[in-house]
A and B are shown apart, each in its own frame.
Chain A
């Protein structure tokens, strides 16, 4: 819901003075209705991202191809001097993830919702400047004795930054919903990323789930003993849960290292890696995607 309100405000102030108010109001209401409808149908228990990646139809596509295409798209998007590349990537991302990958559109939006909220908030802060005296701009209002105003140049700047950021986030979203984390780490290993970083990535990925499950158990145990009965008690219980979690994570780390050593671990964690062949179609799709992105980035404003 918050993202819906933020998106309405952002669109209103971004196009203020550029489009008739009635059309702008209709667009904002449509946007708000879309987010309201989505928030009503939001899943209570969202699917973990690695389950989505595992079941994606694009999971079998060569991970290196996906990784480098996404990275190149991000580079083109953030170096672009106009909004078109960002908008293009933002539009093409759900097509790839939902149509080609076979995931639910609701799940896609749910994943995008949090970064979208942050980006819109940043967009609004870019749109507005503050002043103690009234300054005429394309839009202005007074709150808490301070004047907030937007100008055409701030609108252009906000549009450019937000479109770049949303384009890049959409690219990352495609990668995370179509490629499992171990496959991404394997691509980084093949790209000669230092062993220490790769080892840490593998262990951090694994431990996120172990510690999350442990935290969940400890939290429930505290709750069952009335540890969350009021604000003050819950603060104390949460502190104790986190302290215990830290101690347990040290214990886990020591045990884990023993288990690795017992299986002849010496230097560097290595796992079996499979690399699927890149088909002609996949190669062409990626090349066309990058070419369109690059062509759009060179277009004049």
Chain B
């Protein structure tokens, strides 16, 4: 797969003192689902703000679709259109008085025709299953519904890549499940999904690749199974192994597993590996 977005040697300091990113290089291919892991203050949010062009790069470069984006107005516009960013707290993102107007904000900034904006808004609301709330004021929606609005905001801009900053923060298990399905469906439709999270269980279930940040640097970038097998990396990043991953390791060690093709990502896969033939049906 060719690289869709390439970040090369990017560093960023707040107020010229606190180094949030230090010489970060990474690339993302089309259709990937990547989890960015790391403790608080590791640099994940700053990395996302740089990828979207909200923060101007102090050093390094961003290459999108093979073209280096220089940071001028035109290139920043291209980057923001192509790489959508869903903020952690929907209330920081939502500005309009109704759900429909909120979702129309991005497409209108892209100078699209009214008909095209209306079409995109409707499609995004349908995709997020919030069409019935189109005339509602966002402040009367629940946390999960607001999160859907904030994703619809970005979908309506039709980006190739969506960055989600702590998407499961403050969501209940039901809404987390719903979000997981939404993200998998978006990824299947060809959108590259990059999400930052502390929730290793969620990351392990959903992502194929994991990037680990610690002190503004990338300390691991590999397949999720491989990342969670690196004890030193997890310790340095202040992370724990996913519960299913760790439990399966113990079961394997005790020789209780009936099958051992691969480590289970979901509870259904776990049941299948333990011998329940119908679990994946």
Q: Which A residues contact B (CB, under 8 angstroms)?
A: 50-51, 54, 180-182, 185, 202-203, 205-206, 209-210, 213, 252, 255-256, 258-266, 269-273
Contact = CB atoms under 8 A, between A and B. Distances in A.
Contact of A255 (B92, B106, B117): B92
B14 interface: no
Given A262-B52, A272-B101, A255 B89 contact: yes
Contact of B109 (A185, A213, A256, A265): A265
Contacts of A271: 96, 101-102, 104-105, 108
A270 B108 contact: yes
Nearest to B91: A210
Nearest to B89: A255
Range of interface residues on B (Cβ < 8 Å): 35 or more
B18 interface: no
Contacts of B87: 255, 258-259, 262
- Interface residues of B: mostly helix, strand, loop or mixed? helix
Contact of A263 (B114, B137, B157): B157
Contacts of B81: 264
Nearest to A266: B109
A264 B85 CA distance: 11
A180 B137 CA distance: 9
B94 A206 contact: yes
A99 B257 CA distance: 71
A213 B52 contact: no
B109 A270 contact: yes
A145 to B, nearest CB: 53
B104 A264 contact: no
Interface in B59-79: 77
B121 interface: yes
Interface in B91-115: 91-98, 100-102, 104-106, 108-110, 114
B15 to A, nearest CB: 14
Contacts of A203: 95
Q: Which of B106, B121, B136 has the most CB of A within 10 A?
A: B106
B258 interface: no
B85 A262 contact: yes
B19 interface: no
Contacts of A258: 49, 54, 87, 92
17 contacts: A50-B97, A51-B140, A185-B97, A202-B97, A206-B97, A206-B138, A210-B91, A210-B139, A256-B92, A258-B54, A258-B92, A259-B87, A259-B95, A266-B109, A269-B105, A271-B101, A272-B100
A146 to B, nearest CB: 49
A54 B135 contact: yes
A294 B163 CA distance: 59
B137 to A, nearest CB: 6
The 10 A-B pairs with the shortest beta carbon distances in the complex, nearest first, are A182-B97, A272-B104, A271-B101, A255-B92, A209-B139, A264-B109, A263-B106, A259-B93, A270-B108, A262-B85
B98 A182 contact: yes
Contacts of B95: 202-203, 206, 256, 259-260, 269
Nearest to B138: A206
A252 B77 CA distance: 23
B80 interface: yes
B199 interface: no
A288 B108 CA distance: 39
A264 B77 contact: yes
A51 B102 CA distance: 18
Contacts of B92: 252, 255-256, 258-259
B123 to A, nearest CB: 13
Given A202-B97, A206-B96, 13 more contacts: A50-B97, A180-B98, A182-B97, A182-B98, A202-B96, A206-B95, A209-B137, A258-B49, A258-B54, A262-B54, A264-B77, A271-B102, A272-B101
Nearest to A206: B95
Nearest to B156: A263
Contact of B97 (A181, A213, A260): A181
A185 B100 CA distance: 15
Contacts of A270: 104-105, 108-109
Nearest to A270: B108
B153 interface: yes
Contacts of B118: 272
